[in-house]
Structure 1
Amino acid sequence: MRVATFNILHGRSLEDDRVDVARYADAIASLDADVVALQEVDRSQERSARADLTAVAAGALGAGEHRFVAALSGTPGATWMAATGAEQPDEAAYGIALLSRLPVRSWEVVRLPSVPCTVPVVFPGRRRPELVRDEPRVAVVAVVEDPATGRCLTVAGTHLSFIPGWNTWQLRRLVRTLRRCPAPVVLMGDLNLEAEAVRRSTGMRSLVRADTFPAHDPQRQLDHVLVGGDGARPLRVRGAGARRLPLSDHLALTVDLG
Structure 2
Amino acid sequence: MIKVASYNMRKGIGTDRRRSPERILDVLREIDADVIALQEADRRFGERACVLTPHLLADHSDWQAVGIAKRAQSMGWHGNAILVRKSARIDACEAIHLPALEPRGAVRADVRTASGCLRVVGMHLDLSGLWRRKQASAIIGHVQDCAAQMPTVLMGDLNEWTAAAGCLRDFARDHDFAVTGPSFHARRPIARLDRIMVSRDLRIVDCGVHASAAARKASDHLPIWAMLDAI
Structure 2 vs 1, CA of residues 220 and 59 (structure 1 numbering), >3 Å: closer, same or farther?
farther
1:256 aligns with 2:221: no
Q: Is the 8 A contact 1:104 1:144 kept in 2?
A: yes
Q: Is the 8 A contact 2:21 2:51 kept in 1?
A: no
Question: Which secondary structure does the structure 2 equivalent of 1:179 belong to?
Answer: helix
Q: Is the 8 A contact 1:44 1:51 kept in 2?
A: no
Could you tell me which of 82, 89, 93 is aligned with 1:98? Answer: 82
Aligned mates of 2:117, 2:74 — CA distance in 1? 33
* 1:143 alignment counterpart: 110
Question: Which secondary structure does the structure 1 equivalent of 2:145 belong to?
Answer: coil
Could you tell me which of 167, 187, 194 is aligned with 1:223? Answer: 194
Structure 2 vs 1, CA of residues 28 and 100 (structure 1 numbering), >3 Å: closer, same or farther?
same
Q: Structure 2: any 5+ residue segments left out of the alignment?
A: none
* 2:126 alignment counterpart: 161
Deviation of 1:144 (Å):
1.2
Aligned mates of 1:179, 1:159 — CA distance in 2? 19
Aligned length: 213
TM-score, normalised to structure 2, is: 0.82
Deviation of 1:17 (Å):
0.9
Q: Structure 1: any 5+ residue segments left out of the alignment?
A: 70-84, 116-134
Question: Which secondary structure does the structure 1 equivalent of 2:218 belong to?
Answer: coil
Structure 2 vs 1, CA of residues 106 and 153 (structure 1 numbering), >3 Å: closer, same or farther?
same
Amino acid at match of 2:80: I
Deviation of 1:200 (Å):
1.2
* 2:62 alignment counterpart: 62
Deviation of 1:180 (Å):
2.5
Identity of aligned residues (%): 33
Structure 2 vs 1, CA of residues 45 and 137 (structure 1 numbering), >3 Å: closer, same or farther?
closer
Structure-to-structure mapping, 1:1-258, within 5 angstroms: 1-14=2-15, 16-43=16-43, 52-53=51-52, 55=54, 56-57=56-57, 60-67=60-67, 69=69, 85=70, 87-89=71-73, 95-101=79-85, 102-115=88-101, 135-148=102-115, 151-181=116-146, 182-194=149-161, 195-197=163-165, 198-202=167-171, 203=173, 204-228=175-199, 230=200, 234-244=201-211, 245=215, 246-258=217-229
Question: Which secondary structure does the structure 2 equivalent of 1:136 belong to?
Answer: coil
Aligned mates of 2:58, 2:185 — CA distance in 1? 26
Question: Which secondary structure does the structure 1 equivalent of 2:24 belong to?
Answer: helix
Aligned mates of 1:53, 1:186 — CA distance in 2? 23
What root-mean-square deviation, in Å, do the aligned CA atoms of Structure 1 and Structure 2 show?
2.6
Amino acid at match of 1:249: D
Amino acid at match of 1:10: K
Q: Is the 8 A contact 1:54 1:67 kept in 2?
A: no
Question: Which secondary structure does the structure 1 equivalent of 2:192 belong to?
Answer: coil
Deviation of 1:94 (Å):
5.5
Amino acid at match of 1:53: L
Aligned mates of 2:31, 2:53 — CA distance in 1? 15
Aligned mates of 1:8, 1:58 — CA distance in 2? 19
Amino acid at match of 2:198: V
Question: Which secondary structure does the structure 2 equivalent of 1:217 belong to?
Answer: coil
Q: Which has the larger radius of gyration?
A: 1
Structure 2 vs 1, CA of residues 8 and 141 (structure 1 numbering), >3 Å: closer, same or farther?
same
Aligned mates of 2:74, 2:228 — CA distance in 1? 36
